[in-house]
């Protein structure tokens, strides 16, 4: 073969190869698992609007597309293997008529499409953008919904043109899971709360949580009459009839040494003197929760060592409920919980507490029996369960007293009460629980209206300040970084609750998967919850914890800040240039401080997405700007290291969406 023909053949092969490389396929966005790409809070649905109804914009129906609710963030990794995105965008005809929506297409930080403000009734606008070479794609609908519902918008006929049948992937979350906190020493350390409240005459269960080498023995001096301590387990039980504040000294001893801690027992009208910390099953197992999983979770809390750091509650969420019956005609467990009382007793035997879920509605959100009925005896029919959405309202007949008495008889310690919160229902259950003869922590959910915050603080032990949390920075930001206005109302006995924790493996609307929060965001998550004096309820299967997540949840200095007996929430004292400073006063006169690099989140369309090229920022913490004057000794809480004495400022570097958490001691 001559050189001429060799060159001709080589050129022909290149043409064939190039032609093959450009093979494209059209992919409807509703053909992928679109929920897994959503970093907003409400659900997104394919082929319908976000309510599950037909997709309709300005009278025009669409068979394909993605329906979204409120501010919506869809983040897709394309890896340069897409050529085009097209859609028709607009507000759904069943959406909110008052709120303007803006649609953005953002590719590798560049805005490729901006719809401008659109309202219900506007003609849908076409989108057609070139995606050649694009690595990451963001589809954003921005709307100032302020907690309003039915804020529906649509990416109608949304379609990607892909190369070689490539399908979009989730944005990778492969950042190093760096561990900051050293392991606790083998000498004893007592980690349980230093203050505990109980009602006169009601049962007490308090565990002396302690780390250190086992075996370990426990003792106590100054316990009031009626309480006794098991020296082998550290479990304090009994009841105290006389009101008052009692100061006890707790001791934990092993072969390497001894630790002591002062405990103030307040017998009076207020329980939950520190925020509850433990585990909730919903983001682990959702409707698949059963008795075996609950017991396994309690065992894992012990085996993984979390109990020794003060984690206490094992809470069963929705899907445990069966029918009404028993001595009190209260809600009974369903077939997934065949020996409910034995399960409760077993968990109590570990020194842990048990929580359950209910609602004042006829049906729960998962479709199980609730606390009211349109039937006098409170029974539920198959027709009601089949049409559960139609019965999410408070019925004519209400059973708060029945259910509270049944919970008390079982020995339940915590009630999550879930519905679109209003004062009358909250108050009825509050009264019933207080009259039940047992201290049951009362937590209401979800999205408590801020206008009634004084009622929630008066009636409940914790109240959900926002919607259900999701494992995304957007959801964490909305749930926690916006709570400054709530701060004055939270405190001992009544805590602001930003919802469960989203670390580990979670199932928040999709199948069980590793949290989409980066390691930096997870440090920020746990830090801010601690600073806010928030309830901390682990939302992942405990037995699946990896070394990073376990380390994240077992820093005793972080937990101590959350459990500080003063019970003050941190306040946002500085918010500028993408940096936030939260300052929390503590009972010993020191302060806890969180320095957060929030990266101007929400201020630009690109800021809603993670692009993979984010860099740390240098920050100078100016003491005087936040009202601190004089000399201070600083301690890095996550690393548990003293940093030295500083007079006016402290300079540090903070990773993107990360935190530096400090304990600040006056050296005057």
Mean pLDDT over 14-27 rounds to 64
**Under 8 Å CB-to-CB from 75, ≥6 apart: which residues?**
37, 39, 136, 137, 138, 170, 171, 609, 610
As a CATH number, domain 573-666 is 2.60.40.1180
- Identical fold for domains 24-163 and 573-666, yes or no, is no
Alpha helices in 171-288 (DSSP H): 282-285
- What single-letter DSSP state applies at residue 469? -
pLDDT band at 12 (very low <50, low <70, confident <90, very high): very low
Q: Domain extents for the chain?
A: 24-163, 189-267, 277-569, 573-666
Question: What's the CA gap between 491 and 185, in Å, rounded?
Answer: 32
How much is the pLDDT for 14? 46
pLDDT band at 281 (very low <50, low <70, confident <90, very high): very high
The alpha carbon dihedral of 348, 350, 355, 356 has a sign of negative
Question: What's the CA gap between 473 and 483, in Å, rounded?
Answer: 15
Q: Is residue 427 over pLDDT 60?
A: yes
- The residue annotated as part of the active site, out of 108, 308, 455, 468, is 468
Give this prediction's pTM.
0.95
How much is the pLDDT for 6? 53
Question: What's the CA gap between 158 and 85, in Å, rounded?
Answer: 7
Consecutive H or E run containing 403: helix 400-410
% the chain with pLDDT above 70: 96
Question: What's the CA gap between 574 and 578, in Å, rounded?
Answer: 10
Question: What's the CA gap between 393 and 89, in Å, rounded?
Answer: 33
Mean pLDDT over 474-500 rounds to 97
Q: 189-267 domain in CATH 2.60.40.10?
A: yes
Q: Is residue 5 over pLDDT 50?
A: no
Q: Is residue 20 over pLDDT 60?
A: no
290 catalytically annotated? no
How much is the pLDDT for 389? 87
pLDDT band at 11 (very low <50, low <70, confident <90, very high): low
Taking only the tens place, the pLDDT of each residue in 41-65 is 887 999 999 999 999 999 999 999 9
Neighbours of 476 (CB within 10 A): 25
Alpha-carbon dihedral angle through residues 58, 60, 63, 69, given to the nearest 10 degrees: 10
How much is the pLDDT for 175? 94
Taking only the tens place, the pLDDT of each residue in 82-123 is 999 999 999 999 999 999 999 999 999 999 999 999 999 999
Taking only the tens place, the pLDDT of each residue in 286-297 is 999 999 999 999
Q: 277-569 domain in CATH 3.20.20.70?
A: yes
Q: Is residue 461 over pLDDT 70?
A: yes
User: Would you identify the CATH topology of the domain 24-163?
Assistant: Jelly Rolls (2.60.120)
- What single-letter DSSP state applies at residue 216? -
- The residue annotated as part of the active site, out of 418, 439, 497, 564, is 418
Query: Nearest to residue 498, comparing CAs of 519, 541, 540, 527?
Result: 527
Q: Which residues of 43-73 are buried (b: 16+ CB within 10 A; e: fewer)?
A: bbbbbbbbbeeebbbeeeebebbbbbbbbbb
How much is the pLDDT for 19? 41
484 catalytically annotated? no
% the chain with pLDDT above 90: 92
Strands 372-373 and 397-398: antiparallel
């Amino acid at each position: 073969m001559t050189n001429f023909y060799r060159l001709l053949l080589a050129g022909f092969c290149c043409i064939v190869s190039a032609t093959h490389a450009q093979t494209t396929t059209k992919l409807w966005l509703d053909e992928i698992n679109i929920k897994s790409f959503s970093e907003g809070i409400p659900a997104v649905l394919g082929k319908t609007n976000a309510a599950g109804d037909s997709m309709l914009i300005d009278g025009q129906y669409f068979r394909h597309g993605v329906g979204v609710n409120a501010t919506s963030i869809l983040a897709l990794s394309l890896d340069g293997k897409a050529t085009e995105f097209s859609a028709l965008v607009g507000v759904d005809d069943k959406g909110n008529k008052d709120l303007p929506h803006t649609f953005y297409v953002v590719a590798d930080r560049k805005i490729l499409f901006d719809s401008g403000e659109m309202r219900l009734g506007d003609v849908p606008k076409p989108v057609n953008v070139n995606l050649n070479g694009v690595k990451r794609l963001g589809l954003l609908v921005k709307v100032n919904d302020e907690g309003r519902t039915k804020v529906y918008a649509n990416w109608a006929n949304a379609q990607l043109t892909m190369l070689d049948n490539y399908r979009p992937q989730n944005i990778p979350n492969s950042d190093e899971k760096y561990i900051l906190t050293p392991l606790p020493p083998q000498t004893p350390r007592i980690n349980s709360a230093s203050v505990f409240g109980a009602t006169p005459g009601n049962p007490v269960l308090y565990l002396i949580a302690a780390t250190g080498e086992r075996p370990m023995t426990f003792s106590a001096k100054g316990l009031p009459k009626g309480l006794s301590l098991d020296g082998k387990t550290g479990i304090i039980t009994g009841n105290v009839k006389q009101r008052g504040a009692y100061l006890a000294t707790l001791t934990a001893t092993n072969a390497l040494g001894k630790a002591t801690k002062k405990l103030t027992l307040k017998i009076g009208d207020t329980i939950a003197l520190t925020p509850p910390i433990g585990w909730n099953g919903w983001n682990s197992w959702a409707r698949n929760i059963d008795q075996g999983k609950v017991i396994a979770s309690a065992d894992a809390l012990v085996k993984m060592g979390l109990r020794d750091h003060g984690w206490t509650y094992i809470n069963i969420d929705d899907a445990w409920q069966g029918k009404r019956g028993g001595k009190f005609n209260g809600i009974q467990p369903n077939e997934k919980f065949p020996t409910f009382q034995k399960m409760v007793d077993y968990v109590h035997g570990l020194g842990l507490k048990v929580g359950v879920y209910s609602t004042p509605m006829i049906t729960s959100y998962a479709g199980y029996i609730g606390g009211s009925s349109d039937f006098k005896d409170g029974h539920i029919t198959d027709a009601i369960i089949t049409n559960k959405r139609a019965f999410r309202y408070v019925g004519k007949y209400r059973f708060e007293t029945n259910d509270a008495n049944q919970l008390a008889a079982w020995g339940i310690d915590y009630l999550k009460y879930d519905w679109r919160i209003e004062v009358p229902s909250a108050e009825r259950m509050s009264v019933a629980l207080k009259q039940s003869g047992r201290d049951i922590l009362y937590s209401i959910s979800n999205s408590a209206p801020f206008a009634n915050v004084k009622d929630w603080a008066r009636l409940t032990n914790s109240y959900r300040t926002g919607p259900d949390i999701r494992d995304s920075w957007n959801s964490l930001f909305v749930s926690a970084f916006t709570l400054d206005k709530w701060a004055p109302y939270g405190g001992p006995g009544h805590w602001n609750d930003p919802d469960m924790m989203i670390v580990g493996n979670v199932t928040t609307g999709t199948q069980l998967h590793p949290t989409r929060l980066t390691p930096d965001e997870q440090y920020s998550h746990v830090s801010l919850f601690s600073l806010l004096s928030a309830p901390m309820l682990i939302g992942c299967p405990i037995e699946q914890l990896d070394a990073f997540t376990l380390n994240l949840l077992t820093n005793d200095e972080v937990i101590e800040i959350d459990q500080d007996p003063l019970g003050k929430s941190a306040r946002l004292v500085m918010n500028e240039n993408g940096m936030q400073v939260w300052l929390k006063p503590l009972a010993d006169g020191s302060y806890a401080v969180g320095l957060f690099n929030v990266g101007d989140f929400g201020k630009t369309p690109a800021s809603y997405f993670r692009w993979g090229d984010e860099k740390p920022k240098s920050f100078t913490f100016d003491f005087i700007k936040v009202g601190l004057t004089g000399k201070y000794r600083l301690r890095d809480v996550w690393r548990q290291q003293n940093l030295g004495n500083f007079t006016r400022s402290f300079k540090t570097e903070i990773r993107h969406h990360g935190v530096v958490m400090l304990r600040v001691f006056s050296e005057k």
